[in-house]
Amino acid sequence: MARAYSKVLNASLAIVDKRRESDRETHVMNIIGTVKNRNVLLVDDLISTAGSLVEAVQALKKEGALDVYAAVVHPVLADPAIERLKSSGLKELVVTNSIPIPRAKQFPLIRILSVAKLLAEAILRIHSNESVSSLFTRVGVEA
């Protein structure tokens, strides 16, 4: 997936190598690729306590990254995620509304995008016996 995003965005690829110690603890081990003097977009499927995301931001900044953005599909945002994010150095966090985000957890760093049209189109295609997978392709790049 990372390679597909890189191709669609016409951007170079770097990987944050992390090790999961437990269900609530991960550690960044290495940054594979060049991030020095570059803006970085972190892409992940889920953010729970924000521990690994914040550690990744810190590691990227230490390697010379400029602004660090993150795009995450499912924003669980369990405690202490919000406090961690507020002091993370992250420029912006873009999430979907696949999980409702209570007002108390919304703050200026977070931009919420709706998945309503995508889900509606998927339901329509299923009902019409049409392809759903074609919703997830871009300019010749398959997810």
- The pLDDT tens digits of the residues spanning 120-141 come to 999 999 999 999 988 877 544 4
Distance CA(49)–CA(79), nearest Å, equals: 6
Least confident of 14-28, 51-65, 86-100: 14-28
Q: What is the pTM of this model?
A: 0.86
Residue 115's pLDDT is 94
How many C-beta atoms surround the C-beta of residue 21 within 10 A?
Answer: 9
pLDDT score at 66: 98
Q: Give the domains, in start order, of the chain with CATH numbers.
A: 2-115 (3.40.50.2020)
In this predicted structure, what is the pLDDT of residue 24?
A: 64
pLDDT at residue number 23:
66
Across residues 7-24, what is the average pLDDT?
Answer: 84
pLDDT at 53 over 80: yes
pLDDT over 90 (residue 32): yes
Q: Which residues are catalytic?
A: 18
> Helices marked H in 25-127 — which ranges?
51-62, 81-86, 116-127
**pLDDT reported for residue 141:** 45
**In angstroms, rounded to a whole number, what is the distance separating the alpha carbons of residues 74 and 53?**
13
Cis peptide before 80 (omega within 30 of 0): yes
